[in-house]
Amino acid sequence: MRAKPVGVDIKLLGGLCLIVGVVGLAVILLFPSYALKLFSTALTGPSSFLVRLYSHAVHLLIEYGFLRLRPWAWGLSLAYT
């Protein structure tokens, strides 16, 4: 008998989103002057850089949880959206 793979779909989703998160983080670091649009208002200055880093840090944390099948990842992803 073969063992059933557990959570492969969530792991694939986590892996794909992890790639997107790393690319987004690279864009933030390569283009620090990019103004984040939040509620149709462009945030500028150092606060914008910190908000963008925080956003991607939480995103990468969620994807780490998906890859490792942690139970808190689903709740965090629902709370973050």
What are 6-57's pLDDT values in tens digits? 778 888 888 887 888 888 888 888 887 777 676 777 777 777 777 777 878 8
pTM of the model: 0.66
Given a contact cutoff of 8 angstroms between Cβ atoms, the answer to whether 60 and 21 are in contact is yes
Res 31: pLDDT: 80
Q: Taking the CB of residue 21, how many other CB atoms lie within 10 A of it?
A: 21
Backbone region of residue 40 per phi and psi (left: phi > 0; alpha: psi in -120 to 50; beta: other values): left
Given a contact cutoff of 8 angstroms between Cβ atoms, the answer to whether 58 and 80 are in contact is yes
3-state secondary structure at position 6: coil
Res 64: pLDDT: 86
Q: Which carries the bigger pLDDT value, residue 13 or residue 72?
A: 72
Q: Which carries the bigger pLDDT value, residue 81 or residue 12?
A: 12
Q: Is the dihedral of CA 36, 38, 44, 50 positive or negative?
A: negative
Q: What is Dmax (Cα atoms) for the chain? A: 59
Res 36: pLDDT: 67
Q: Please check the confidence at residue 1 and state whether its pLDDT lies above 70.
A: no
